[in-house]
Amino acid sequence: MECFDLNILGCGSALPTTRHLATSQVINLRDKLYMIDCGEGTQVQMRRMRIKFSKLNHIFISHMHGDHCFGLPGLLSTLGMLGRTGELVIHGPKELEDYLTPILSLFCKELPYPVRINAVNPTTSELVWEDRSIKVHSLPLKHRLPTTGYLFEEKAKEPHIIREMTDFYQVPVKELPRIKRGEDYITPDGEVIPYTRLTRPAAPPKRYAYCSDTTFYEKIIPLIEGVDLLYHEATFGETDAPRAKETFHSTAKQAAEIAKRAQVKKLLLGHYSARYEDVQFLKEEAREIFPNTFLAYEGLRIPV
């Protein structure tokens, strides 16, 4: 069965606690894995959630704060010990190469697989990656240093063949791929059978937007408009709004305001400050503005 699932490995902020780990997520789209950020503890969480290391080919790093990238060295080493041979592509800011080059040369110089770094421009929205399943665009965010979010857009699936109709018109099997691509079928007698009569539309493609870390930033609204799921940082509650402004982070209510203006379908909060023992109040504050709000937590697997 085809899926588009989001796996939360960590949803804490800069200071790891026993309640939350540093930021990391894995998207499973049609059995292809795409990681977003790689804080400490990422590979252990992959084990706990039974996420297959061998299916991971792309890692997207939002910015060069440690809670979003300190897990990379250990993960790269582990992939090598597991016998990986295929290329791993790491997308992120240009400073990523400065960070990884000495690590790769000192600790991972005999990796059995190539690592390619794809520099992402944090000042504009652009296509970062595309394959047969997905398009990934960057989302410029506003933080203390250059930061980018990511928009994952599933590519449209082919329509489903209606077996009863193709049997009725005795459509040869070799014609089915053309019909699924939107071509009409012409019978041996010359009758044109519209492809719409022989197929039913596939489910609409899904979109997921990842926005962490950032202050309240209205410029992202048109870029994420109508997405099926928005993950937006909610580091602070309203009582700590001055601290959020000072550190270029967002409150739960600000995240909800972005979700409301962008008319997204569902909002997922994360990147919680270590000062909070219980973050349920963040959900309550956000739901005052955007009712369809939920909290991220380690081990959560949520369909997009």
Write out pLDDT tens, residues 29-87.
988 999 999 999 999 999 999 999 999 999 999 999 999 999 999 999 999 999 999 99
Within this chain, do residues 248 and 183 fall inside the same structural domain, yes or no? no
pLDDT band at 28 (very low <50, low <70, confident <90, very high): very high
Indicate if the pLDDT at residue 149 is higher than 70.
yes
**Per-residue pLDDT at 1:** 45
- Spatial distance between the Cα atoms of 251 and 234, rounded to a whole number of angstroms: 5
For the segment 153-212, what is each residue's pLDDT rounded down to a tens digit? 999 888 889 999 999 889 999 999 888 888 999 999 899 999 999 998 888 899 999 999
CATH number of the CATH domain containing 218 = 3.60.15.10
Q: Which residues pair with 90 in a beta bridge?
A: 59, 117
Tokens found for residue 239: 């009582």
Within this chain, do residues 181 and 212 fall inside the same structural domain, yes or no? no
For the segment 212-262, what is each residue's pLDDT rounded down to a tens digit? 999 999 999 999 999 999 999 999 999 999 999 999 999 999 999 999 999
**Per-residue pLDDT at 201:** 86
For residue 14, report the phi and psi dihedrals to the nearest 5 degrees. Answer: -60, -35
Indicate if the pLDDT at residue 263 is higher than 60.
yes
Half-sphere exposure of 193 (CA within 13 A, CB side): 19
Domains held by the chain: number? 2
Within this chain, do residues 145 and 164 fall inside the same structural domain, yes or no? no
Within this chain, do residues 164 and 27 fall inside the same structural domain, yes or no? no
Is residue 259 within 8 A of residue 267, CB to CB? The reply is yes
The size of the chain, in residues, is 304
Within this chain, do residues 267 and 144 fall inside the same structural domain, yes or no? yes
**Per-residue pLDDT at 159:** 87
- Spatial distance between the Cα atoms of 135 and 155, rounded to a whole number of angstroms: 7
Within this chain, do residues 94 and 195 fall inside the same structural domain, yes or no? no
- Spatial distance between the Cα atoms of 4 and 18, rounded to a whole number of angstroms: 29
**Per-residue pLDDT at 16:** 82
Within this chain, do residues 101 and 173 fall inside the same structural domain, yes or no? no
Residue span of the structural domain in which 83 resides: 4-157+203-303
**Among 170, 199, 228, where does a domain finish?**
199
Active site residue 67: yes
Within this chain, do residues 21 and 106 fall inside the same structural domain, yes or no? yes
Within this chain, do residues 100 and 169 fall inside the same structural domain, yes or no? no
Within this chain, do residues 27 and 59 fall inside the same structural domain, yes or no? yes
Is residue 267 within 8 A of residue 295, CB to CB? The reply is no
For the segment 106-116, what is each residue's pLDDT rounded down to a tens digit? 877 789 999 99
For the segment 277-290, what is each residue's pLDDT rounded down to a tens digit? 999 999 999 999 99
- DSSP collapsed to 3 states, the chain: CCCEEEEEEECECCCCCCCCCCCEEEEEECCEEEEEEECCCHHHHHHHCCCCHHHEEEEECCCCCHHHCCCHHHHHHHHHHCCCCCCEEEEECCHHHHHHHHHHHHCCCCCCCCEEEEECCCCCCCEEEECCCEEEEEEECCCCCCCEEEEEEECCCCCEECHHHHHHCCCCHHHHHHHHCCCCEECCCCCEECHHHHEECCCCCCEEEEECCCCCCHHHHHHHCCCCEEEEECCECHHHHHHHHHHCCCEHHHHHHHHHHHCCCCEEEECECCCCCCCHHHHHHHHCCCCCEEECCCCCEEEC
Check 31, 67, 98, 240 and give the catalytic one.
67
Percentage of the chain lying above the pLDDT 70 cut: 99
Within this chain, do residues 175 and 268 fall inside the same structural domain, yes or no? no
**Per-residue pLDDT at 2:** 64
C-alpha distance from residue 116 to each of 37, 86, 104 (Å): 16, 11, 11
The alpha carbon of 76 is separated from its chain's Cα centroid by a whole number of angstroms, namely 20
